[in-house]
Chains A and B, each alone.
Chain A
């Protein structure tokens, strides 16, 4: 029955082809998560241009003006989101926090994604003993309670942005390797790759022309997933005081400091909380959309 239901001829089942360029653009836009893209654009803009758009120095305390409420709750326009317990401008600190979140997030995604992909390609393409070793090491890293190890490493090395990034790269490449290795194995067995080998293409050429282009889609999907995860982890570690060290403003650090003022100035936890939630929600929604567009098979990933 399902076959019958879909049994309308292929050409027709795809629906009418849009006739004009406007219609085609509209068709493409219709599925796009516009609001999440807009939110993420704001965060990225704030992150890149932080020093130019912050109304105040995010790290400059002003104890005379501490714990001011946001506007709408009795605050003044000079501090639109109010001030924290040390009198620092919450808006400026949120903008600075965006910068740090994005920086750590992107650095880790590039580092872990690069390392993970490299190992996946090596394991999947050359197989044999190399594959066995890489797969076993991957399993070990996947089995480790990552947050526990991460904080103990940061504890051992000392908290700094650089150490945080290194630790997160070191602890998270395995996810990429596990998924992409399977993809490489599958592609390598595909007929067109065998044909290329028969035709005398070298390994590098096959890797560059056939394998890498074919794992770009899952890689992009994985990277999007990881970006929001890393932002959450960074916030969690900073919340514990084991992430990016103060006085640098981070969303997690702001939450950690703000939780002592619950009941006094709730904006101090609500605003950074919203910043994290909206950013991660937007990234996830964009990721879902990418998954739908790029590779339906990865729906359940």
Chain B
């Protein structure tokens, strides 16, 4: 088990290193990294100082070394727009995004799984058909569209929910539902098909033959086995909850990193953009390691390999 944890952490480290290469390369892709990484209002002297500090006139591997050293020591450069270290600006906003993502993840998981199980246990019946339609719509309607329609209905027409900002429980509802929408539909479909597969296995049949109540057969014997593909999908969706915040936060003026990213891009604050992408990605990679360890807990067969 310890070896498994170690190997997963090792893989995560490689992945994060890979992401750092991508982020590093991004600034250089546009041709002149200096144009992105040096504040537009800098004097020629300041400009040269920053170029020297970042090694922009030296070979790419050296530049990467300097970049990596900065990352490891927590120095991501200064945000042009805020005049503070980019990491601090990020750290102030990140919790807001996490809170929203967490609420959305819970909504998606609970909603998707319960809807999916309901569909599987009533396969072919009315609930199943309704669920299939909802799931299909979920995957075809982009989250920003849902956000706009929710706003149209609940804020503009009914006046029940506030349109923007983060102040109190009510303001969570629309952003969280919009953000959860797509994942919920995907999880519902996956849960349904995974449960249907498991319900046909011999061990579920044996559980019935043992005379167990149907609820016990479904939740103890079938569901736990159906959980692995569901969790796999969910762990892939975790990225989406943070990524998708880019759009949702901008619609609902949610003060998280999604809004911050777009602000940073439009004000050409590239050090901040780099920081957001790298730190957020690393966070998600580590989160996935956590999910993998959870698998090992759910399915004993994984512990051995």
Q: Please determine if A and B sit in direct contact within the complex, based on CB atoms under 8 angstroms apart.
A: yes
In angstroms, Cα B277 to Cα A149, docked, is 6
Contact of B27 among A142, A156, A236 (CB under 8 A): A156
List chain B residues, Cβ under 8 A from A240. 246-247, 250, 262
Given A144-B281, A146-B243, the answer on whether A139 and B140 have CB atoms closer than 8 Å is no
Within 8 A of B (CB), among A284-301: 284-285, 299-300
A268-295 contact mask (Cβ, 8 Å, vs B): 1 or 0: 0100010011101101110000000000
List chain B residues, Cβ under 8 A from A252. 144
Q: Are B145 and A273 in contact (CB under 8 A)?
A: yes
List chain B residues, Cβ under 8 A from A149. 22-23, 26, 277, 281
Q: Are A148 and B22 in contact (CB under 8 A)?
A: no
Tell me if B29 is interfacial: C-beta within 8 Å of chain A.
yes
Tell me if B130 is interfacial: C-beta within 8 Å of chain A.
no
B143 nearest CB neighbor, chain A only: A236
Tell me if A259 is interfacial: C-beta within 8 Å of chain B.
yes
Given A143-B19, A153-B26, A300-B194, the answer on whether A148 and B137 have CB atoms closer than 8 Å is no
List chain A residues, Cβ under 8 A from B244. 147
A4-25 contact mask (Cβ, 8 Å, vs B): 1 or 0: 0000000000000000000000
Q: Are A269 and B15 in contact (CB under 8 A)?
A: no
Q: Are B281 and A145 in contact (CB under 8 A)?
A: yes
Q: Are B273 and A140 in contact (CB under 8 A)?
A: no
Selecting from B39-47, B76-84, B147-155, B214-222, the interface stretch reads: B147-155
List chain B residues, Cβ under 8 A from A129. none
Within 8 A of A (CB), among B3-37: 11, 14-15, 18-19, 22-23, 26-27, 29-30, 36
Secondary structure call for the A interface: helix
Tell me if A235 is interfacial: C-beta within 8 Å of chain B.
yes
Q: Are A145 and B243 in contact (CB under 8 A)?
A: yes
A139-173 contact mask (Cβ, 8 Å, vs B): 1 or 0: 11011111111011111111000000000000000
Given A143-B281, A145-B280, A152-B277, the answer on whether A277 and B239 have CB atoms closer than 8 Å is no
Q: Are B265 and A232 in contact (CB under 8 A)?
A: no
Q: Are A144 and B11 in contact (CB under 8 A)?
A: no
Contact of B193 among A152, A255, A299 (CB under 8 A): A299
B258 nearest CB neighbor, chain A only: A148
Within 8 A of A (CB), among B152-168: 152, 156
Tell me if A67 is interfacial: C-beta within 8 Å of chain B.
no
List chain A residues, Cβ under 8 A from B229. 300
Range class of the A interface residue count: 35 or more
Range class of the B interface residue count: 35 or more
Would you give the shortest CB distance from A51 to chain B, in whole angstroms? 27
Tell me if A136 is interfacial: C-beta within 8 Å of chain B.
yes
B216-257 contact mask (Cβ, 8 Å, vs A): 1 or 0: 000000000000010000001001101110110011000000
Would you give the shortest CB distance from B177 to chain A, in whole angstroms? 16
Contact of A232 among B29, B142, B251, B281 (CB under 8 A): B142
Among B152, B246, B266, the most chain A Cβ lie within 10 Å of the Cβ of B246
List chain B residues, Cβ under 8 A from A263. 156
Given A156-B273, A269-B152, A276-B145, the answer on whether A145 and B284 have CB atoms closer than 8 Å is yes
Q: Are A277 and B141 in contact (CB under 8 A)?
A: yes
Q: Are A143 and B15 in contact (CB under 8 A)?
A: yes
Tell me if A201 is interfacial: C-beta within 8 Å of chain B.
no
Nearest 10 pairs between A and B by C-beta? A140-B18, A155-B265, A281-B140, A280-B140, A147-B243, A145-B243, A232-B142, A152-B273, A277-B141, A273-B145
Name 5 A/B residue pairs within 8 A (Cβ), A-sorted: A145-B284, A152-B277, A158-B30, A241-B266, A300-B190
Q: Which residues of B contact A (CB under 8 A)?
A: 11, 14-15, 18-19, 22-23, 26-27, 29-30, 36, 136-137, 139-145, 148-149, 151-152, 156, 190, 193-194, 197, 200, 205, 229, 236, 239-240, 242-244, 246-247, 250-251, 261-262, 264-266, 268, 270, 273-274, 276-277, 280-281, 284-285, 288
